[in-house]
Structures are given as structure tokens and as C-alpha cells.
Structure 1
Amino acid sequence: MKRMISANNLLLVGIVVVGAAVLGMATSGQFFGPVSMTSFFRFVSVPILIGLAQMITLCVGQLNLAVGAIGGVAACFTGVIVTSWGVPPWIGALVAVLTGAVLGLVNGLLVVGTRINGFIVTLAMSQILIGVQYALVGTRTIERKAWPELAAFGRSEILGIPTIFLMTLVVAVIVALYFAQTVSGRKLLASGGNASAAQLAGISTDRALIVAHTLSGLLCGVAAMVSISFLPGVNTTVGGDWLLPSFAAPIIGGVALAGGTVAVLGTVLAAMVVRLVDAASPIFRFDAEVVNFVVGAVVLGTVALGKLREVQASRHASRIRSLRAEAALAEVKR
């Protein structure tokens, strides 16, 4: 509970409320209309999912630069097997999730097997998967009329709230419970917080890396499934703009780049902040470059502030140790 009401989360809640109020005033209240609200919650689902996917790799001190490429391949592969192979749409949706998990597993095995930093491995994999995505669909767009059941799911609502958004919140709760209540989740955090101490405690850091990348890929697959359900169609652009939001959500949400921490609620709230910035773009006529600059600047500022806090905390701890040492020395002299 204390983590949920942290200062960072309260700040993010305030930003979401103020941002929504500003957009409401700028649109004379139309932003709070049922159509706008439904659209907002529907489109924020993917940023939340990819933010959680990135958060899981960050918690073990890794990066996943293949987030968008994994989701793009999963979405395009599903489109191909549904339209060309006659696979039922719901089976195709499951295949999208499994494809993401398998590609994440490959990333994890490569990181552990080659002992190359995950930054390099996932960067290389992203380029390979972009080629695979193009090989699957080329320059064509597979329209969503090929999967009417999934399209209906993407449009469905429960009490006026998009079903896919509610599903995304359920996924977020499952992720939170995984890290808070399961041994596997705590092992990931221990591995990311201090790999040497984790190994001394009998925790396999290699296994932790593989599990983290697999779960990250799994969530990318879920994001691909969600994208398929509400996008007009799938093509090589799917996943192309996922990388920056995937980092922005967890970092702004309070996840440390060094590993050992997660912030599920913070990631969800930060994804909403990023989505509010996107929603403000057409209203205030911001260019896409301006939006990317703002989001990137916020991410950089958040990292810089985090580093500043770490330095201040280290200095404070050193000062306390010095005072204790001086007090002990004075006691000995007496």
C-alpha cells in the first residue's frame, strides 16, 4: 500500500488530473465526452502493456530494444495465418501472444548464451525482426475485416469502458501480484538488485534473465493482440513507434535503470501521461517531433533526477557513517 501511495504516484495522479482538465477546457468539454473518453482508454492500452514489458527487463538490469519489432512480427504473423492459412481469429490472437513469448525467450537465450549485453542483443534482434515483418506482409495491409470477432472485441465496452482497457488493467494486476507474491518474481528483483548477492543466495541470474525477457516478449504479444483488435489493419508500421513510450512509462513511473525495482501503478499512470501528450498533439497542433521531444526530455529529466537522488542519498549515508565513526572514536578515547 505504501508503494501505491508514493510521492511519485501522487505526482503522476496530479499530472493526469491536471492534463485531462486542460484538455477538457481546450475542447470545451468534448474531451470528456463518451467518444473521446472511450478512444483515450482504448488507445492507452498498448502504451501500458509495452511499458510493463519494458519494466520487466529493466527490473533485472536489462533493456529490450526489440519491443516494437516483437509486437510487429506477432501482429503480422497473426494476420497472415488468419487470412492465408484459414486459422480461426481467436486462435490467431493466441498465436500472437505465444509468438511474443517465443521471441522474448530467444532474446533471453541469446543474452545468456553469448554473454553479450542485452542492449546489443535486442538491438540486433529488432533489426532482424523488422526484416521478418516485411517478409510476412511486404507493402500490403491486412485489413481487420478478416477477423470480425477480434474487431468486435476491440470495439466492445463494459459499462462504457473499452473491454481491452479493462483487460489491460487485469494484466497489470497480474504483473503486480507476480512480483509481490511469487518466488519467481522476487528472484527477478533480487537478481536485478544485486546479482552477486543473488548468486550467493542460490538464485540463478541466467534463469532470471531468460524469464524476464520471455515475460517481456509475452506482454509484447498481448499488446500485438490488442493492436490487432482495434487497428484498421496490420502492416509493417505496427510496433514502429513503441520504443520511446515503452521506456517513458516505466522510467517516469519510478523504475530504476540499474534494476531491482518495479513500479506497476507508476508505469500505468505514466503511460496515461504519455497518452495525454499524444491526445494534446492535434488539439494544440503540435508536430510529432515536438511530442517526441517533450516525452524524451521528460524521460531524460527523470533519469537525471533519479541519479541526483542517488548521489545525495550516497553522500548522506557517507556523512552518517563518518559521524558514527567519529562518535565511536571519541568514545574509545574516553
Structure 2
Amino acid sequence: MGEKSVNGLIKKISNKETVYKFGSLLGLVIICVILSVTSPEFLTSRNLMNVLRQCTINALIAVGMLLPILTAGIDLSVGSMLALSTCFTGIALNSWGVNPLVGILLGLLMGGFLGLLNGLMLTKMHLPHPFISTLGMKNIARGIALIITAASPISGFSSSVQFLGSANLFGMPVSFILVIFVFIIFSIFLNRTAQGKYIYAVGSNKEAARLSGINVDKTLILVYTICGFMAALAGIVLIGRVNSAAPLSGLDYDLDAIAACIIGGASFMGGKGNVSGVMIGVLIMAVLRNGLNLLGVSPDVQNVAVGSVIIIAVYVDVLRARASKKAKLVS
């Protein structure tokens, strides 16, 4: 292969990488344009605020889910951790009569503790894959939530507890303002700190990271602890929105969070993904579901549409991995 051909191939691969990088954003724009034409209500301020409010829970869980995915892992228990954390918060507030701030803090600590257990099972028990540990936690946390609540929801919370999920500030949902703040913190953490770089390194090549002196076990434990904490934080927002803590809440939240990460450009193979991509993925899912509701599409058809988007996103991930592999071979 001549030098000209090699340079052409590299340029072609680079162009593909650029398309993959901005493909999700382009997809979001196209969906918004289509919905603005087909539904007059889509671009109303009321509906757009509703979209922002609806996407907050998935956004908080998804940005936490990004960390395991960056390490070539996954967390299937986020929905159950959310349920147990919210139920624990509900019991602390309504049965124990603790201060609202203390009750919220206890719920967040419960989520972090459950995530810590996921990390310990993966690293200290040497389970073969996080799929196993988090699948087990998914059933354990859901079962405990049902037991401690007698399978009944807890409701009737004070306005201070509902603030994050229901209040508005300057016309913007407080929950979405929280999302913006959290995403900024995560962006700084992943891009500006040594620990954030360790997470990418572990996902790119775990053995190489270990040989470079990175404490892989510590990194994985931190990753899953943060993921559990973020699930609990999403649960606090959910309590505020529906004024209820239910043991069966969050049943499909794990799949929605994973889908948002992959749609936003994260790779199941690890080492690739960023916070801005997750936000785009979250918005795509929220806008798509909102638009389909406005168009009167049945929930069953909506599931088909969202599932198709997920498959396309994973296929793009496969193409991106192939292009990256070819680029390495050429270089």
C-alpha cells in the first residue's frame, strides 16, 4: 500500500470517527425538527420544561452508570438500589420522624453502601463479571425494599423533601438545575483529576493499568459506590416528584440508563464515553418518548421505537470499534 493510499485510509477513518462523535447530537436535532413539524405542542415552553423534568431521573442514574461502563463493566442493580434507598428514606422520615435533611442523607448513604457492596463483590470475591454481582444485588435490594415496606408505598412527605423533584427556580425545574450541577462535577472529575483518568485507563486495558501502578480494585470500588450513590440521588428526586417511595419503583431504570450512555457514545468495551454524550443520550430518549406521547403513539410501539434506537446505537459502537482497530493497524 502506497503512502498516498495509507494517508487516504487514515483520513477516511478519521472522518468516520468524527461522524460517530457528532452522530448522537445530529440525531437529537433531527428528532426535534421532525417533532416540531408533526406536533405543534412540542416546542411550547410548557412541554419543553416537561421534557427537562422527565429526563432528570434518567440523567442522574445514567451519569453514574457511565463510570462502570467506562471500566468495561455494567450495573444492573441501579433501579433496585433506587427503590431500596427511597424506601429507607421514607421509613426514616415517616416512621422514625427524623429531620428531612437527615432522612435524605440516610437514603444517599444507603445507595452508596449498596454500590460499595457491588464493588467489593466484584473485586474481593473475584466474581467473574459485574453482570453477576449487580444482578444478584438487583434481586437482593428489591427483595429487601419489599420486605421493609410490606410491599406498600410510603407517601405523605413534607414540601422540603419534595423540593428537589417538584420545585421550580426562575422558571426552570430545580431537578434539572441539579442535573446540570452534577454533570459539571462529573465532567471535572473525569477530565481534570487523576482518579478520573484512572477510570479511563482501567477501561482501556485493565492489566496495563495495573502494571502502571493504578490500584484497579480501588478504582472499581469507587466507580460502583458512586453509581449507587447516584441511583439514590435520583430516588430523592423521584420522591419529590410523585410524593411517594415505592418498593417497585425503578423497574426499567437500569436499561434506560445503559441505553442513554450507549446512545451518547460510551462503549461497552470500556475506555470511551463522556458526560456530554450521556446528556445527549438522555435527551434523545426523553424527547423521543415525549414526542411519541404527543403523537398519541401507544406505549407498546414506543418500546419498539426506543429499542430500535438502542440497537442502532450499539451497532454504531461496533462500527466505531472497528474503525479504531483499523486505525491502529494502519499506524
* TM beyond 0.5: yes
Q: 1:277 to 1:114 in 2, by over 3 A?
A: same
For 2:321, give the aligned amino acid: E
Residue 177 (structure 1) aligns with: 188
Q: 1:78 to 1:15 in 2, by over 3 A?
A: same
3-state SS of 2:197 partner: helix
2:313 aligned to which of 272, 289, 302:
302
Residue 228 (structure 1) aligns with: 239
Identify which range, 302-311 or 214-223, moves more after superposition: 302-311
Contact 1:8–1:253 (Cα < 8 Å) also in 2: no
Percent identity over the alignment is 26
Residue 206 (structure 1) aligns with: 217
Residue 328 (structure 1) aligns with: none
2:103 is equivalent to residue 89 of structure 1: no
CA deviations on 1:152-190 (whole Å, 9 max, x unpaired) are 443322221111101111101101100111111111111
2:199 is equivalent to residue 165 of structure 1: no
What CA distance in whole angstroms lies between the structure 2 residues aligned with 1:77 and 1:150? 14
CA deviations on 1:35-62 (whole Å, 9 max, x unpaired) are 3222221111111111111111011111
CA deviations on 1:270-313 (whole Å, 9 max, x unpaired) are 10110112212322233323222222222222222222332244
Q: 1:160 to 1:18 in 2, by over 3 A?
A: farther
Residue 110 (structure 1) aligns with: 121
What CA distance in whole angstroms lies between the structure 2 residues aligned with 1:78 and 1:119? 27
1:66 aligned to which of 61, 77, 85:
77
Contact 1:99–1:221 (Cα < 8 Å) also in 2: yes
What CA distance in whole angstroms lies between the structure 2 residues aligned with 1:211 and 1:59? 13
2:35 is equivalent to residue 23 of structure 1: yes
3-state SS of 2:124 partner: helix
What CA distance in whole angstroms lies between the structure 2 residues aligned with 1:187 and 1:106? 21
Residue 259 (structure 2) aligns with: 248
2:60 is equivalent to residue 49 of structure 1: yes
Provide the alpha-carbon RMSD of the alignment.
2.0
What CA distance in whole angstroms lies between the structure 2 residues aligned with 1:151 and 1:82? 12
What CA distance in whole angstroms lies between the structure 2 residues aligned with 1:46 and 1:252? 17
Residue 139 (structure 1) aligns with: 151
1:150 aligned to which of 144, 161, 175:
161
Contact 1:60–1:208 (Cα < 8 Å) also in 2: no
Contact 1:101–1:221 (Cα < 8 Å) also in 2: yes
Residue 325 (structure 1) aligns with: none
Structure 2: segments with no counterpart, 5+ residues: 1-17
For 1:133, give the aligned amino acid: A
Deviation at 1:142, TM superposition (A): 1.7
Contact 1:41–1:162 (Cα < 8 Å) also in 2: yes
Deviation at 1:80, TM superposition (A): 1.1
Contact 2:115–2:227 (Cα < 8 Å) also in 1: yes
Contact 1:97–1:218 (Cα < 8 Å) also in 2: yes
3-state SS of 2:42 partner: helix
Identify which range, 42-51 or 87-96, moves more after superposition: 87-96
Contact 1:75–1:234 (Cα < 8 Å) also in 2: yes
Contact 1:75–1:238 (Cα < 8 Å) also in 2: no
Deviation at 1:316, TM superposition (A): 4.9
Contact 1:134–1:236 (Cα < 8 Å) also in 2: yes
Residue 140 (structure 2) aligns with: 128
CA deviations on 1:203-247 (whole Å, 9 max, x unpaired) are 111111101101111111111111111124121231112022111
Structure 1: segments with no counterpart, 5+ residues: 1-5, 322-334
What CA distance in whole angstroms lies between the structure 2 residues aligned with 1:284 and 1:18? 16
Contact 2:157–2:243 (Cα < 8 Å) also in 1: no
Identify which range, 102-111 or 148-157, moves more after superposition: 148-157
TM alignment of 1:270-281, pairs within 5 A: 270-281=281-292
Contact 1:26–1:283 (Cα < 8 Å) also in 2: no
2:248 aligned to which of 228, 234, 237:
237
Q: 1:149 to 1:312 in 2, by over 3 A?
A: closer
What CA distance in whole angstroms lies between the structure 1 residues aligned with 2:35 and 2:319? 32
Higher Cα radius of gyration: 1
Aligned residues: 314
For 2:32, give the aligned amino acid: A
TM-score, with normalisation over the residues of structure 2? 0.88
What CA distance in whole angstroms lies between the structure 2 residues aligned with 1:8 and 1:312? 10
What CA distance in whole angstroms lies between the structure 1 residues aligned with 2:55 and 2:323? 35
